[in-house]
Amino acid sequence: MQAASKRLQQPISQLRIIEFQQQTWRDGCLELANADEFCTQALIPGWRVVVGIGEQTLVYHTNQTGSAVRLNEKASSSLLAPVQIPVSELPPPLAGYVVFREISGGGITGRTYETVLLKDGQLIRVRIGDANDSERSVRRVSVQQVQQFVRSLERSKFSKFKNLSYPAPSGAADFITYTLTSQEGTVQYSSDLNNLPKNLQAAVKAWNNLITSAK
């Protein structure tokens, strides 16, 4: 955090660890050797840590104890930097019987859809602003699938992304914004999944797989 604080010119108290994953690096340089550097050829257990504030994100490789730290410049510039969702723009919290909600809007049609997963396995999709409710669909997944999905959210640490938005790259057009809400909080993204942190990708994929499996 000290290295990130110095590089971003921000106090440590303002920085957030956005993501951390255990890794086994293939050499003593943590796979980030300088041009003329000799690296010990050995497997080094360690961590990949993403630190950020506002629109700035840094990716670090460390050893197990954190005594060796290297900045991954390439990944730092390619990751989408999250921004805080203003409180006034957060959707309402979920009712107790709702497990998860997706609101998707934008794109070419400009329509906004809401999909909610209930504890009993009902998956309800409606178009917001549809006065006749003509596009409502109700499908089902098993209660066991609901429980598996909740566990997958816990594994991917979905709550770590609470109230963060990953906006589309500047210049992007016709993108769809997805707002995902669990009982723990809300996250928003409007771009290619590949630019999101791995844990958030895993949560989104688990949700999409659940929708696909509904009958």
- The 10s digit of each residue's pLDDT in 33-47 is 988 889 999 999 999
CATH number for 87-213: choose from 2.70.98, 3.30.1560, 3.40.190, 2.60.40.
3.30.1560
Statement: residue 13 has pLDDT above 90: no
Average pLDDT, the chain: 88
The pTM assigned to this predicted structure is: 0.64
The whole-number pLDDT of residue 131 equals: 85
Domain ranges in the chain are: 2-79, 87-213
* DSSP, residue by residue, 12-35: GGG-EEEEEEEEEESSTTTT---T
pLDDT level of residue 192 (50, 70, 90 thresholds)? low
The whole-number pLDDT of residue 183 equals: 95
- The 10s digit of each residue's pLDDT in 52-77 is 876 577 889 999 999 999 988 777 75
| Residue for token pair 């006065």 | 131
